[in-house]
A and B are shown apart, each in its own frame.
Chain A
Amino acid sequence: MSLANQIVNLLAALLLLIAFAMLSQRRILTLIKLLAWQGGALAASTAIVAYSTGQPHLYFSAGLTVALKVGLIPWVLHRLIDRLNVRWDIETLINIPATMLIGIGLVIFAFALATPISQMASVFTRSTLGIALASVLLSFLMMIVRRKAVPQVIGFLAMENGLFFAATSATYGMPLVVELGVALDVLVGTFIFGIFFFHIREQFDSLDIRHMEKLKQD
């Protein structure tokens, strides 16, 4: 196994660890920091894949990841929670140890799902596909078990990170045009979510998603 491969594996493991750390995190500020770290790990692994396969467009996507996911989006989120004044501890639907156990189950499921696929693939990063899938599923779980809107959006962004990593590990990344489009979509999405937050709070005096269910009863 080459050194580049080992480092990519290590970064993949780090990505998985950060996904679990986000799942178990109670504070929004730390959650945003973890999101930035996840972006950093993603960018580093993309850059290493770019270096070892000699595909220049992956350098662009690594740079894009650093600029957007380490710099801009965490900054926007920081601004948002400052403006919304939501530094409270996050409420979860299920207690955290139980969430973690469900997470382990998801990881096993993802690994079982990815093993036959990665055996067919010929790229050298194929073994990290399972981890990418697992972090997508874990971000899904995070969106499901969180009650407030901001952590759900962070879960959504983390899911995008996982998908990006899956693309890099399965096919050495998507074409540059697609990547640019996705990056822009995520950025625009973040801004739109920001506007949504203000609307939700204006309407319900809270960012708790449960209040939105009451509309059906009225």
Chain B
Amino acid sequence: MNLSAGIAFQVLQSVFVVLAAPLLMGWVNQCRAWLQNRTAPSVLLPYWTLAKLFHKDAVIARDASPLFRLTPYVLFGCMWLAAGIVPVLATGLPFAPAADIIALVGVFALARVFSALAAMDIGTSFGGLGARREMLIGFLAEPAMLMTLFTAAFISGSTQLTTIVDTLAHRAFAIYPSLAFAGAAFLMVLLAENARIPIDNPTTHLELTMVHEAMILEYSARHLALIEWAVAIKLFAYMTIGIALFMPWGIAAAGDWSALPLAIAALLAKLALAGAALALLETLLAKLRLFLAPEFLSAAFLLAVLGMLTHFLVQA
């Protein structure tokens, strides 16, 4: 692989993720509306919302510090960086060695810390409440996420996501009970980290039950647009991590232009399926009480640890 082709792939993937992320959000919302017998909004609605928000004038609280203004850009940057590291379309990207799975979790943690700080910066009660809840969920979800990734890392013998995907995509067919455990744990972490039901309701208007929404109540216009966009990219990144770990078939190698159409088609099909499954899950489940969130996430941690132990014992 020559460097220029690799860079072209990297740029292509990064731009693709940023542009496609709101579409995924729109698709999930549409599926959920169908499942709940509502008239579905257009798939393109998130784009219109972003365009509308970018054209408005921002209102910022008088007591806001520079941190408050900076945070939306940090969030967006973190998510974009994560989207560049995860092998979405191709493995072996030039960006990939910049961070392994541990650093990737760190990037998500950085975004979380900034959004919590910004939420407390204004000093409103809902901001502080949301930030505390977010940190509670975050510190429980992170170990589960790491354990899940470690299981896949043990199977392939590397913590580089691109190596893991390469190994898993090109192995002979085998049933891995450990990966089944890790997959279930990853799904639970995905729901918690992306503020979906059962941990948080992304469409709630009731401040007392909010987690993520409570943190961004004070944002408006372009800042809010960037945060919403970052949320969409985060969901996209998590889904593609899941796809990369548990169903990596069809992914291209960087520089291989002939494999690219298949990789894009496979990715879109898998994302459509995953988005519909997420909508179905959200329709079937009810939001948990906040105090049951630790139980939910400790179950995720348990599954991830069981997956790792099973890998050691049965070597599969």
A residues lining the B interface (CB < 8 Å): 1, 6-7, 9-10, 12-14, 16-17, 20, 24, 96-97, 100-101, 103-104, 107-108, 111, 114-115, 127-128, 130-131
Contact = CB atoms under 8 A, between A and B. Distances in A.
A81 B16 CA distance: 57
A76 to B, nearest CB: 30
19 contacts: A1-B174, A1-B316, A9-B314, A10-B177, A10-B180, A13-B178, A13-B306, A14-B177, A17-B306, A20-B302, A20-B306, A96-B295, A97-B294, A101-B298, A107-B306, A107-B309, A127-B315, A130-B313, A131-B313
Interface of B is mostly: helix
B175 A6 contact: yes
A9 B316 contact: yes
B165 interface: no
Given A9-B316, A104-B306, 5 more contacts: A13-B181, A14-B177, A17-B303, A108-B309, A111-B313
B309 A7 contact: no
A6 B316 contact: yes
A12 B314 contact: yes
B88 interface: no
A180 to B, nearest CB: 30
Contacts of B175: 6-7, 9-10
A100 B302 contact: yes
A160 B314 CA distance: 22
Interface of B: 174-175, 177-178, 180-181, 294-295, 298-299, 302-303, 305-306, 309-310, 312-316
Nearest to B312: A111
Contacts, number: 61
Interface of A is mostly: helix
B305 A104 contact: yes
Central interface residue in A14, A103, A104, by most chain B CB within 10 Å: A104
B186 to A, nearest CB: 15
Contacts of A130: 313
Contact of B180 (A13, A20, A24, A131): A13
B295 A97 contact: yes
A68 to B, nearest CB: 26
A128 B177 CA distance: 12
A164 B298 CA distance: 29
Contacts of A115: 313
Nearest to B297: A97
A127 B303 CA distance: 19
B302 A103 contact: yes
A17 B305 CA distance: 11
Contacts of A96: 295
Central interface residue in B180, B306, B315, by most chain A CB within 10 Å: B306
Nearest to B177: A13
B265 to A, nearest CB: 30
B298 A97 contact: yes
Contacts of B316: 1, 6, 9
Central interface residue in B294, B303, B309, by most chain A CB within 10 Å: B309
B299 A24 contact: yes
A128 B295 CA distance: 28
Contacts of A6: 174-175, 316
Contact of B314 (A20, A24, A127): A127
B181 to A, nearest CB: 7
Contacts of B313: 111, 114-115, 127, 130-131
Contacts of B181: 13, 17
Central interface residue in A1, A16, A17, A111, by most chain B CB within 10 Å: A17
